[in-house]
Structure 1
């Protein structure tokens, strides 16, 4: 299968290697690039907080840029949205990691079980744009928190000729979609060619992502049973 990988390049290379090992042909089409704000992360860490929360491995890439400035915080409790983010936190040097089941809402529920022990707000180190579900879940559970935006994902511009060559020469069989913004950008780029992509499979990380896929392609949607890349690969 020819599979479009829409992750940022830093993550897409690992996904591409995994696809090749399974006999598929990866087609890299990163839709966004990360702009890191390590000074914003350092300033946020310097403020009062009881624990850290992270919903993307990209945040750990930002924190790793702090070098020795991160060392005093590596023993703090860090709540990670899922296994991939937890692994990135471990690789960054964090020693007290609690991992959620893979979604922001589930992570909020996990943290709520510990919030009564907090003597300061939870510090959520976030990206932009992001799903509101984690922060909404914290509010619903009356968890005090502050959010610091430490990176932003900016769209990459492609011309239509390039998009056509990627998607149709020859036609792709599937596309991996990881977030609502990711899905929106892909569908915008692919819009002029959707009639020629009638059989493409939209492999989505979650129901939330699948909602963005145009209605006429809903029969082509596959949704991961677990919101991580293992769940996506299980659908191939």
Structure 2
């Protein structure tokens, strides 16, 4: 059975593991990133905002209840289905599900929000294109950072333990930070045999680039930044 290493953090890791088992793969969990809440004050919420934008469900999960309460009546534009579900669960009442990626959401919002202000619930580590596109369209973007993304520190023994001391056939990479962490693991002499023949599958070209030249030609990129497209790349 093909062993697939899932590097995303919970709760997504368990969802991915279920999908992999249904597809006939053996999932192995080793989160290479984790999210931690940041302190946020209600005073950071501007009075002139007419909408809220969210490109990550983690931004909602880590937002203090006071911030959600202050924003819940505003139209909430979520990047996709999973983020929209998280927004509704948190208490937003007017949630609009976006096209599935941040750049497309920015393009969709640019016209209707031009000349106006919008709040962007987000993480400290994020791709800048979303804010840049809205700013170029004349939108006043107010980012409120609710969480940070950090890399756990794994010893060689801890990694080998997660992998049961056996090589994995494939690795799924969902973020550039996870890819950079994986690059460091692959280069550790004590872990060489565990990843020597592993193939790597990245959600986007930007994520693949974070691996640099650590894995040579053993990496492929999903056709769309979607988990379904990523899993379709796995060898049967």
Query: Does the TM-score normalized on the shorter chain lie above 0.5?
Result: yes
Count matched residues: 231
Is 2:183 aligned against 1:152? no
Query: Do the aligned partners of residues 194 and 53 (structure 1) sit closer, same or farther apart at CA in structure 2, a change above 3 Å counting?
Result: farther
Give 1:84's match in structure 2, choosing from 57, 82, 85: 82
Which stretch has the larger CA shift, 205-214 or 46-55?
46-55
Partner of 1:53: 53
Q: Within 1, Cα distance between the matches of 2:100 and 2:89?
A: 18
**TM-score, length-scaled by structure 2:** 0.86
Partner of 1:171: 167
Contact 1:210/1:223 (CA < 8 Å) preserved in 2?
A: yes
**Mapping of 1:2-21 within 5 angstroms?**
2-21=3-22
Superposed CA RMSD in Å reads 2.4
Q: Within 1, Cα distance between the matches of 2:164 and 2:183?
A: 15
Which stretch has the larger CA shift, 214-223 or 47-56?
214-223
Is 2:26 aligned against 1:66? no
Query: Do the aligned partners of residues 167 and 185 (structure 1) sit closer, same or farther apart at CA in structure 2, a change above 3 Å counting?
Result: same
Q: Within 1, Cα distance between the matches of 2:111 and 2:104?
A: 11
Give 2:223's match in structure 1, choosing from 208, 222, 225: 225
Unmatched tracts of structure 1, length 5 or more = none
Contact 2:4/2:172 (CA < 8 Å) preserved in 1?
A: yes
* CA displacement at 1:15 relative to structure 2: 1.5
**Which structure has greater helix proportion?**
1
Q: Within 2, Cα distance between the matches of 1:47 and 1:62?
A: 22
* CA displacement at 1:156 relative to structure 2: 0.8
* CA displacement at 1:150 relative to structure 2: 0.8
Give 1:107's match in structure 2, choosing from 102, 105, 125: 105
* CA displacement at 1:165 relative to structure 2: 4.2
Unmatched tracts of structure 2, length 5 or more = none
Deviations 1:47-71 (A, max 9, x none): 43111111111012123x517x634
Query: Do the aligned partners of residues 93 and 235 (structure 1) sit closer, same or farther apart at CA in structure 2, a change above 3 Å counting?
Result: farther
Partner of 2:185: 189
